Amino acid sequence: MKGSFLEIGHWNEAKTGERAEGDVFLSRRIADEGRIISVLSDGLGSGVKANVLATITATMAAGLAAADLPMERAAEAIMRSLPVCSERKISYATFTLIDVGATGEISIIEYDNPPFVLLRNGAVLRVEKTELEVKRRGPGRGRRGIPEKALLHSSRFQSRAGDRIVCFSDGVSQAGMGTERSPLGWGQAAVEDFLLGVVGENHQVSARELARTTVREALARDSGTARDDVTCGVLYFRDARRLLVLTGPPLNPDRDPERARIVSSYPGRRIVAGGTTASIVARETGLAVRVDLGKLDPEIPPMAMMEGADLVTEGIVTLGRTAELLAGEEGVDKLPDNACSRIIDLMLNSDIIEFVVGTKINEAHQDPSMPVELDIRRNVIKRLAAVLGEKHLKDVRIRYI
């Protein structure tokens, strides 16, 4: 949609006592078609086995949808392919598949997850759904309460700017079950009211923050203990949020004033990465740079503060480590408070990330005795841009000076 950007965020917590999450949320961009596909899958049980089931289901659902396979055939293929649990002798995983077209048209297929929620103009909009019946084949058919036929629900509608599509696993809707507060669980209607309340209090709440707030409320209803895997995913159509990352001195010092103007006039949030870069901006603008010694980390150089910038950090080491963390499988939301976690937070809550990269070589990073991770600046930025674009679906732009 013209003037609208799709932000995708999610939050999940593994069942208490389990290292692996039994729910999986993934997104995939089909660049040549302008489509984005998101899938939430909940594997049978919890832990590693559930994670395998959910991962297979989510990956297959996204791949088959991208190939435009009819959903009935795709569902049958998924159910035939799931491995069989050695204990329960069944293979089972739920899924919610959301396919967003280039012009904002939405197609959603749901199988056994709680119904998705469409928030529009401060209310929950009910969407007409069509039932699709799919025969089960292979292991698990008709056993232990698993029916021989699967009932899917299909929805199609046109998104609008400001829409939020929220999906979640039953770890959310069933939170608090058996407690005095929620003997039957939190419940679909109560979750919807909660979502409306959060958005009502903060109309600009990000997709990631709305998902996190929802999961944390679910945990609170179970006294902070996850009695099941708990996951929430949010798709939010809105105006793009922009982030500038200025790093490295320019090849020609005559362009120093230009770099200062880029920072001061940028229509979004701003990160200045690199001591020399910060010094140039400070000199050209007359603003002071103050190092923050209250947040020291033995592995990551300290942050600094400067008026007109949301964050000032060291350059190559910090950006290189940030790229590694974003590419890794560890939860970036559970990192210690340092320069890398601050950069990641700004990046994940932005849509268009613009790198303005100086091309002057820093001789210190060419010393052969330095660790191999200290790559030259341009390669570090390329790695960071790749993971932001491919894994986190950000619109990344790089400009060299």
Order of all β-strands in the sheet with 105-111: 23-30, 35-43, 93-100, 105-111, 149-158, 129-135
Specify the pLDDT at position 349.
86
Q: Which residues contact 309 (CB under 8 A, 6 or more apart)?
A: 263, 270, 271, 272, 281
Cβ atoms within 10 A of the Cβ of 266, count?
Answer: 17
Specify the pLDDT at position 196.
98
CB 139 within 8 A of CB 90: yes
Specify the pLDDT at position 72.
72
Compute mean pLDDT per 10 residues along the chain, 401 residues long, and list them. Answer: 76 93 93 91 91 92 88 74 62 89 92 96 95 66 55 92 96 93 93 97 92 96 93 94 92 88 93 92 90 80 91 92 84 79 92 90 52 62 92 90 85
CB 393 within 8 A of CB 29: yes
CA 85 to chain CA centroid, nearest Å: 30
Tokens describing residue 72? 């009935």
Collapsed DSSP state (helix, strand, coil) of residue 345 = helix
Residue-range domains of the chain with CATH: 5-238 (3.60.40.10), 242-400 (no CATH)
> Can you say whether the dihedral through the CA atoms of 335, 336, 337, 339 is positive or negative?
negative
Specify the pLDDT at position 377.
78
What is the rounded CA–CA span in Å between residue 95 and residue 65?
A: 13
Specify the pLDDT at position 137.
55
Q: Give, in order, the Cα–Cα distances in Å from 21 to each of 54, 197, 207, 217.
A: 9, 28, 20, 18
Specify the pLDDT at position 88.
58
Collapsed DSSP state (helix, strand, coil) of residue 348 = helix
What is the rounded CA–CA span in Å between residue 301 and residue 303?
A: 7
Tokens describing residue 6? 């799709």
Specify the pLDDT at position 372.
41
CA 148 to chain CA centroid, nearest Å: 35
Specify the pLDDT at position 391.
86
